[in-house]
Amino acid sequence: MKISILPLKFIIISSLIITVFSCINETTKPQHSTLNESIEKKVDSVLALMQINEKIGQLVQYSGKWNATGPSSTKGDQHKFEKLKKGEVGSMLNITSVASIRETQKIVMEHSRLKIPLIFAYDVIHGYKTIFPIPLGETASWDLGIMKQSAAIAAKESAASGLNWTFAPMIDVSRDARWGRVMEGAGEDPYLNAVVGVARIEGFQGDDLSDIYTIAACAKHFAGYGFGEAGRDYNTVNVGANELHNTILPPFKAAAEAGAATFMNAFNDIDGIPATGHKILQRDILKGAWNWNGLVVSDWGSIGEMRAHGYAEDKKHAAEIALNAGSDMDMESYAYEAHLETLLSENKISINQIDDAVKRVLRLKFELGLFDDPYKYCNEQREKDNVYSKENLAIARDVAKKSIVLLKNENNVLPLSKQIRSIAVIGPLADDKDSPLGNWRAKGEYNSAVSLLEGIKNAVGENTKIHYAKGVDLTIPTIEPGANQFLLPLKFNTTDDSGITKAVEAAKKSDVVLLAIGENAYQTGEGRSQTNIGFLGLQNELLEAVYKVNKNIVIVLMNGRPMDLSRASEIAPSILECWHLGSESGNAIADVVFGDYNPSGKLPVSFPHNVGQEPLYYNQKNTGRPYSNKHVTFSGYRDAPKKALYPFGFGLSYTTFSYDNLQLDKTEIKASDDIKASVNVTNTGNRAGEEVVQLYIRDLVGSFVRPVKELKGFEKVMLKGGETKTINFTINAKMLQFYTANNKWEVEPGKFNVWVGGDSTTSLKKSFSVIE
């Protein structure tokens, strides 16, 4: 029987007590809980030889951007060199290239007592030098195979360059378009984040971490980082146990079960406890209930930042909190190296805790094969042969075109004929060769992407006239190569409209306008929260001026977050969501614009009517007053719609699809039973196309209020013109369970609705019941 009313006392203290936060009733164990006996013996043998300074050193990660082949240039560099020589560093990040990595590894191997090799890490988020679409954009493909493939290529290029470890994938559920880092994840849905995260982990890590072309993945940020108040980066997070377990943690549990080698904790606090010092999250849930045996690394400086939070008195206190909480490796806080030995002598931490953390570091090094050959990743010829190859660029183009979402296409403006007489390519992003690389572009070279203008020119013949005009500059000044992305002031041009006249002239003499507007690469990413998610600078003025003289406009939207498209959607007949698509951006867009590829992308995030709707997501709860004609007042807005402008899962094609004959093989089951669902999907047009068939479920009554719909499955299917296919889903207990008021994952008996369709607003529905 379901619990309908919870005691008031339980509600008040539910977010404060350990029993609510811990998953002590988890029944499944992650794959990473199975240890390799041979490796464990080797880990123990090395651990037995280590002195306390060497143990603590393995828990230290430094950033090194020096030239390892030359003399140190700063006092800080000299300190790092001395620590390396003593074997008191476990990992380095931000050292790239085989030459630099080899020389840094040699410092340890030639001078330290035990010669324990370093792990080399780098932020390889959506490609190393061959850049793929930003993760949010790539998720719009809903194609897990290509996401795994792009991660595998990123791993291959990284490993060939000497690296062993990436800080990806980010699997934070994020529902607020104001948060700049939404570009780095898979959007607003827990299930989609989970399956996309697993695909990327499998791509990075392959079947064997010791393979020379694989690298260790890192599931981040554990946990709640995407729920920062007001969409502000690093901001506080206030969630109860229900939201934590049912929305935030599922992608991380899936990552642990998939064998993610490492986790990274988060900058934010959760209900007053910084994630870096959150024992319940790290020790009780991740390492305890989930029995995960990987390595937890802090985010950059996050251990020391617990002082600014007001949670630690000083860096020594922060080190004590972090290690006790289960944070194994200190990234750039210098807290562990300075204070762990003293804390141990004062009995504020235990040697067992240190040994457990060290074993996790050593285990990963053995899994990577670094003890067998510390230089196994250091091969210049491999680096030359595998980085930025033609084959990798061809795959990047394929991934990019599959990530494009057709949001609007009135009067079939698209696709264009390659014999069209004239095209105006207009906008501040039209000939931008840098913004398509997106933020977090690893070693992607400045201005190396194929621009939209280049892609269009590559696609058409000499008889098609291309009229280009920038129209307006987006920012002042133009971003310079090598600039530190975190220090860029991003001053937007709000005064110089002198180029609009030229843009209007180009539009007047063209059959169609491709208007490239949106955001440059540095408007989204870490530290790039915005209260305005519309077209900044003078882009709106450019749009209006062009529309007055040529209404045949295709907006080519380049962006890293959901944007306010209300006016653009009102006047432009066609909108292509093109994100930041990576190295082959312009060619991929041209593939879609001219119909060489029929767009198949679907939105992984909801697009609002305006920023006032944020945070906005499809899987909301119903409230006691959902919209209906029975209520004068309801949970909505008086000045804007309640629903999204473009909903989660939405995306058009150059053909059309219809759904019918949704069937369930049972209408009543026990919790342990399965139900077979089937639906007929028909391509009702003449052109072949792919459709993402989406399955949603609602638990109508629960011990906690359940969302109005939850994505539980999808399948991407190719259909010829006029073809019908029957798509089958198996609904099982895992799809129906949630973290209940009993503080465990279970299926509660009751009624459920099932929808299948092309986006989250689908109305094709059946119902069934789970009986006790």
- Active site amino acids: 299
Q: Are 165 and 91 a contacting pair, CB within 8 Å? A: yes
Residue that is written with structure tokens 């943690």 in the block: 249
Interatomic CA distance for residues 85 and 92, integer angstroms? 13
Give buried/exposed letters for 58-86 (b at 16+ CB in 10 A, else e). Answer: bbbbbbbebebeeebeeeebeebbebbee
Percent helix, strand, coil in the chain (nearest 5)?
Answer: 35, 20, 50
Q: CB burial class (10 A; 0-12, 13-18, 19+) of residue 608? A: buried
Q: From start to end of 519-617, where are the E strands?
A: 553-558, 574-577
Q: How many CA atoms are closer than 13 Å to the CA of 50, on its beta-carbon side? A: 26
H/E run at residue 410: none
If we measure between CA atoms, which residue out of 201, 184, 192 comes closest to residue 148?
Answer: 201
Interatomic CA distance for residues 611 and 227, integer angstroms? 16
Interatomic CA distance for residues 167 and 394, integer angstroms? 25
Interatomic CA distance for residues 429 and 444, integer angstroms? 18
Give me the DSSP letters along 106-138. HHHHHHSSS-PPPEEEE--SSBSSSB---HHHH
Measure Cα distances from 217 to 121, 131, 137, 258 in Å.
Answer: 10, 18, 20, 11
**Which positions ≥6 away from 511 have C-beta within 8 Å?**
420, 421, 422, 423, 552
Strand order in the sheet with 218-222: 218-222, 262-265, 295-297
Interatomic CA distance for residues 99 and 383, integer angstroms? 10
Paired residues of 698 in beta bridges: 753
By residue count, the chain amounts to 772
Determine the residue type at 122: Y
| 190 conformational bin, left if phi > 0, alpha if psi -120 to 50, beta if neither | alpha
**Which positions ≥6 away from 534 have C-beta within 8 Å?**
540, 563, 564, 611
Question: Which segments of 209-312 does DSSP mark as H helices, in order?
Answer: 241-243, 250-257, 279, 306-309
If we measure between CA atoms, which residue out of 656, 747, 648 comes closest to residue 696?
Answer: 648
In this structure, the strands spanning 465-469 and 422-426 are parallel
**Which positions ≥6 away from 194 have C-beta within 8 Å?**
171, 250, 251, 253, 254, 255
- In three-state secondary structure terms, 98 is helix
